[in-house]
Amino acid sequence: MREKNIYVFKVSIDANKSLIKQAIKKIYGVTPVKVNVLNQLPKAKANRYGKGFRSRTKKAYVFLSKKDKIELFESV
């Protein structure tokens, strides 16, 4: 997705689109064109101790213009 200038971030559940835009601008120095947010609901998980749930998460899809780029460090 980096070829299309779309970056995915795991964000706080309380974050909204405007807060995410401000944080991206402050941290990386680029202005996002668009931000989409995906709420992932808790998922049931069974293990040897019984049933449980994975926690709720939120992902932010950040769209940048063609001239902007974010340098991310990848772990091996």
What pLDDT, in 10s, does the model give residues 18-57?
A: 999 999 999 999 999 999 999 999 888 887 888 888 889 9
Residue 73 pLDDT greater than 80, yes or no: no
In a domain, 76, yes or no: no
In a domain, 11, yes or no: yes
* The predicted structure's pLDDT at residue 61: 96
Q: Provide the residue range defining the domain that includes 7.
A: 2-63
In a domain, 50, yes or no: yes
In a domain, 45, yes or no: yes
In a domain, 70, yes or no: no
What CATH number should be reported for the domain holding residue 52? 3.30.70.330
Number of domains in the chain: 1
Q: What angle do CA 61, 63, 68 make, to 5 degrees?
A: 135
- Give the span between the Cα atoms of 22 and 55, in whole angstroms: 26
